[in-house]
Amino acid sequence: MELTRLGPNTITDRDLFRAEISGVRTLGYATADEEHETGIRAIGMPILDIGGRLRAAISVAAPAFRCTAEQLTEFLPAMRSAADNIKILLPSG
């Protein structure tokens, strides 16, 4: 599968992409700084079910001129709380 450039910071190198995914697993969230679209930054986190399987994700996006990548991390506590609340509501199985 080709890693197609969508924004100015899209990761198109497979080794860099693997390293990014590894970092996301370690941190428990991902950031996108104009990777998908010019002028947009976002932060997202997975919602895992009780068994640890990925079931959904939540994210917050903002125009790059209004929010730095560092400022997006201020949303993490609220996002973790929301993810935990959603996790409880997910059907098992």
Q: What is the pLDDT along the chain (93 residues), one digit of tens a residue?
A: 889 999 999 999 999 999 999 999 999 999 999 999 999 999 999 998 888 888 999 999 999 999 998 999 999 999 999 999 998 888 776
Query: Which one-letter amino acid corresponds to residue 39?
Result: G
- pTM to 2 decimals? 0.84
Tokens read off for 4: 């197609």
The answer to whether the beta carbons of residues 79 and 60 sit under 8 Å apart is: yes
Strand segments (E) across 1-67? 30-33, 40-48, 54-63
Of 88, 27, 31, the C-alpha closest to 55 is 88
Sorted by where each begins, the domain ranges of the chain are: 14-89
d(CA 17, CA 27): 15
Instruction: Domain 14-89: give its CATH architecture.
Output: 2-Layer Sandwich (3.30)
